């Protein structure tokens, strides 16, 4: 059966069928997936009942494994992390703040893959926002102000000892490692050019962008607040609804995302692999 791509009803995102990710993929199949991914930014593969080994094998066709600096990996699977929430857990929802994964790294990951293991009967959607469209929709004057500017990225709000997932975060089922290393900063262009498509995307997020290089803090804070509100407008957002046995991959270079709750009293488990 030939690979089929069905765009979502939102402005981006697509479902991919006609392929079995449990099998070794031919080069032309991998090329077709990459082409669809670059076009649609978020791909969902329903009906894929994968073992961890099969999930790893598929991920390895897309590029080298990336690093997950603040997660413990699964035993015997050093590149797989568990995005887990137990049924009786009361901690804040993990990754509820909009972000592009690990944007505070010098070389942030290109892709993130999630494979559903336990899906609650309600809630748990993932929101994605198209940052090509967010950049293109900015007023010309704002673009002119920002196009040569660098955003200051840091993991401190989440993973420093006093961060969201730091020393005071008790009772969380996920294996998160907070560290003083999270205080480090990294600069990235606010208008970041995608290395494969050549398109500019807005590359900031409330999760990891803490300032603008060379701009007074109060001025940068006000401008970033405007950008954070702008980048998640409804017209840029694709709401992904999970189902059992589903793999989802997205492009961190042009998409930000946010987890949602709404499944209190139910367990949820996804397995995650990051692509460098």
**Are the C-beta atoms of 73 and 81 separated by less than 8 Å?**
yes
Burial classification of residue 88, based on how many CB atoms lie within 10 Å of its CB (0-12 exposed, 13-18 middle, 19 or more buried): exposed
Q: How many helices (H) and strands (E) does the chain have?
A: 6, 15
Dump pLDDT digits (tens) for 141-174: 999 999 999 999 999 999 999 999 999 999 999 9
Dump pLDDT digits (tens) for 51-94: 999 999 999 999 999 999 999 999 999 999 999 999 999 999 99
**Are the C-beta atoms of 44 and 247 separated by less than 8 Å?**
yes
Dump pLDDT digits (tens) for 94-127: 999 999 999 999 999 999 999 999 999 999 999 9
Q: Among 190, 181, 193, which Cα is nearest to 213's?
A: 190
HSE (side-chain half, CA atoms, 13 Å) at 29: 15
């Amino acid at each position: 059966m030939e690979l089929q791509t069905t765009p979502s009803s939102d402005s981006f995102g697509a479902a991919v069928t006609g392929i079995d990710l449990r099998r070794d993929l031919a080069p032309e199949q991998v090329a077709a997936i990459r082409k669809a991914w670059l076009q649609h930014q978020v791909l969902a593969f329903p009906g894929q009942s994968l073992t961890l080994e099969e999930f790893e094998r598929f991920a390895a066709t897309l590029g080298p494994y990336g690093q997950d600096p603040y997660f413990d990996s699964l035993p015997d699977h050093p590149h797989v992390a568990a995005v887990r929430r137990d049924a009786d857990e009361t901690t804040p929802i993990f990754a509820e703040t909009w972000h592009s994964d690990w944007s505070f790294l010098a070389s942030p990951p290109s892709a993130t893959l999630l494979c559903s293991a336990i899906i609650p009967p309600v809630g748990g959607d993932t929101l994605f926002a198209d940052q090509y469209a967010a950049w293109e929709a900015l007023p010309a004057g704002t673009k002119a102000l920002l196009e040569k500017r660098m955003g200051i990225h840091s993991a401190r709000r989440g993973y420093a000892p006093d961060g969201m997932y730091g020393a005071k975060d008790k009772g969380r089922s996920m294996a998160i490692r907070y560290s003083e290393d999270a205080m480090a900063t990294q600069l990235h262009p606010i208008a970041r050019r995608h290395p494969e498509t050549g398109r500019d995307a807005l590359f900031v997020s409330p999760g990891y962008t803490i300032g603008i290089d060379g701009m007074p803090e109060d001025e940068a804070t006000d401008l970033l607040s405007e950008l954070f509100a702008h980048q998640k407008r409804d017209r840029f957002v694709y709401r992904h609804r999970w189902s059992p046995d589903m793999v989802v991959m997205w492009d961190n270079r042009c998409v930000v995302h946010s987890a949602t709750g709404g499944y209190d009293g139910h367990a949820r488990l996804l397995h995650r692999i990051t692509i460098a």
